[in-house]
Amino acid sequence: MNTIATDTKKQILNVAERQFAEKGYAGTTLRGVIKEAEVNIGAVHYHFGSKEELFIAVVRRVAKQMVPKQLQHLAKYENQNEPPSVENIMEAFFAPPLRMLSQMGKSGIIRAQFVGRSRVEPLPIQVLADKQFHESQQHFLDILQRAFPNQTRLELEWKLDLAVAVLIRTLNQIGQPGKLITGTSPEEIENAIARLVRFAAGGMKA
């Protein structure tokens, strides 16, 4: 793919991500993305084909940046002889996405809002987003099973789903006054990570 095509695709993805974050899937239109990105309809259809495929592409781009960092963090504990602490597991879950957003500055707030909103869309759209994170969640379930051998897989799935909901809620509210994370400074992000880890670890043990 040549440089112009790559730049055009990136521009479309950036605009679509912001519009999906602000307006949701139903409120975002290809016409609106085309207008803001200053491209023609042919460029969108060439790179993505439809609004659904464009949405999937935005989610996939986010997942490709976020998931490997989570799994890399988690890998430090997977090959240990002793089961890892639930605090370590939850840190591997919460810390990489939040630190990545912190490093992105203002664009990190848009990214956070997109991730949060994409996973609370109506079910058919939510499923499209969830598929991009399914594999990483299975890794977390596997290692949680080692940490809690007496809990059933179903119970751990339920608890991890609640941890996902906490992360989504946190991401969706980043930058809002009075919420857990009102900015993206490293100090504020690390404080939020510590609080989320304590909260989620307590729930996993319950």
pLDDT of residue 58: 97
Q: Give domain status of residue 39, yes or no.
A: no
Q: Give domain status of residue 184, yes or no.
A: yes
Strand, helix or coil for residue 133: helix
Which residues constitute the domain of residue 160? Answer: 56-205
Alpha helices (H) along 49-174: 51-78, 86-103, 106-118, 123-130, 134-147, 153-172
User: In which residue ranges of the chain is pLDDT below 50?
Assistant: none
Q: Give domain status of residue 32, yes or no.
A: no
Side chain identity at residue 14, one-letter code? N
Based on the structure, what is the number of domains in the chain? 1
Q: Give domain status of residue 78, yes or no.
A: yes
Q: Give domain status of residue 104, yes or no.
A: yes
Helix (H) or strand (E) holding 107, with range, is helix 106-118
pLDDT of residue 197: 98
CATH number at residue 142: 1.10.357.10
pLDDT single digits (tens) 27-77? 999 999 999 999 998 999 899 999 999 999 999 999 999 999 999 999 988
CA–CA distance, 99 with 116 (Å, rounded to integer): 15
pLDDT of residue 120: 87
pLDDT of residue 3: 58
Q: Give domain status of residue 19, yes or no.
A: no
Q: Give domain status of residue 196, yes or no.
A: yes
Global pTM reads 0.88
Neighbours of 76 (CB within 10 A): 11
pLDDT of residue 147: 94
